[in-house]
Amino acid sequence: MQPKESDAAGGGGVSREEKVKGILDEILEKLPDGFNMIEIMAKVEERTPYIIVAFQECERMNFLTKEITRSLKELNLGLKGELTITTDMEELGNALFLDTVPESWTKLAYPSLQGLGGWYADLLLRIKELESWTADFALPTTVWLAGFFNPQSFLTAIMQSMARKNEWPLDRMCLSVEVTKKNREDMTSPPREGAYVYGLYMEGARWDTQTGVIADARLKELTPNMPVIFIKAVPVDRQETKNVYECPVYKTRMRGPTFIWTFNLKTKEKPAKWVLAAVCLLLSV
């Protein structure tokens, strides 16, 4: 970070400090302004479960983008010599140089195994998704489940809104999952109840769209895409329990602490086969 390392390797290359400064400038330039929560909240009359999720997501995004802006501006002043370089600034500079996500950002973000470049592109997509949702608060035709800080809150909102609509007790409800034969581009309107979600991947097996069941994985297809999934809520006693595999859903390949939910997926084979193959759904690969 200090000028001692800024002598360019081999004479004609870009110095470490210049590279860090370039990445820093690019991130700040592309980062949109935070969400104006007062304006956003003024748009809605009734706070439905989905709208509350949107508010929470915008607030969390604001915390993250504020920290990104604050830390980068501070580092910029340090590089110019206007501030003394602290350990935090040194670590931030190292992360930018090595294409890893700085720790002060990951603390406020969501689990991810990507390098900084991929992570930041993904962050901009998440912001875009939130911007289009909060423009009119109409639930998108298909919802990008991986785009949430807290996907569980969205899945819970599906149950809450259907419980209110049908006057069902929330504690006697569960999610019903139906894998469609369509991709995101084929969807034209949201369902009357529940939601269409996209952007999931299967690990350990694949989804056979023709037969509508889990099938053996193909060679070299490690995490095949899933078609759009229709999620709605049903009373527990109406839940399908025959010929289903209780498939865990995780945010990343790390699995474990990134667990979100269990989706019951149709299977012709015994569920034990998929348990042994450790089949799961992932939100990002």
151 & 204 share domain = yes
149 & 34 share domain = no
Residue 258's domain spans which residues? Answer: 142-282
What does the pLDDT read at residue 86? 92
Residue 1 lies in a domain: no
155 & 116 share domain = no
22 & 131 share domain = yes
Looking at the structure of the chain, the number of domains it has is 2
271 & 148 share domain = yes
What does the pLDDT read at residue 276? 96
Last residue of a domain, one of 136, 163, 195: 136
CATH number at residue 210: 3.10.490.20
Token pair of 48 as six digits: 């439905």
pLDDT digits (tens, 9 = 90+) for 12-49: 577 889 999 999 999 999 999 999 999 999 999 889 99
- Which of 79, 73, 58, 98 is closest to 2 using CA atoms? 79
- Report in angstroms the alpha-carbon separations of 267 from 25, 32, 105, 113, 271: 50, 44, 40, 30, 7
124 & 208 share domain = no
| Residues 108-119: b if buried by 16+ CB within 10 A, e if exposed | bbbebebebeeb
Give kind and range of the element (H or E) at residue 87.
helix 87-98
What does the pLDDT read at residue 12? 55
Residue 126 lies in a domain: yes
What does the pLDDT read at residue 3? 41
What does the pLDDT read at residue 151? 96
Q: What is the CA radius of gyration of the chain?
A: 22
258 & 179 share domain = yes
Distance of CA 113 to the CA centre of its chain: 12
Kindly give the parts of the chain with pLDDT less than 50.
Answer: 1-11
278 & 147 share domain = yes
